[in-house]
Amino acid sequence: MSPLWNMGLVWSEVYDRILADMKTIWGEMAVFMIKKRANDAKADLSRLRKEDLERIIELLREKTLPSTLGPDGADAKARQYLAWLGDGSPVT
């Protein structure tokens, strides 16, 4: 099956947006952090599905983001990532 598209975006492009945003906070450590959550979600990064990204974002909200952003910041960042997933809105 070909990659899934959402408003012209492949799910991996949304993943790349999230990773780029995380790199602004944690630098290259973000690569390992998001891969850890992808592994926890049992997501295949070579064939991402929307459900995989939703689970990765939830794990980021619960386990990764609060350590730096606090609970409110983690929730706001997760909502931003879910918005990118839902409507393909540009990185802000």
- Where are the domains positioned within the chain? 27-40+47-87
Question: What's the Cα-to-Cα distance from 23 to each of 28, 29, 33, 90, rounded to whole Å?
Answer: 6, 7, 10, 17
pLDDT of 63 strictly over 80: yes
Calpha distance 12→43 (Å, rounded): 12
Of residues 16 and 5, which shows the higher confidence score?
Answer: 16
pLDDT greater than 60 at residue 2: no
Q: Which residue has the higher pLDDT, 6 or 39?
A: 39
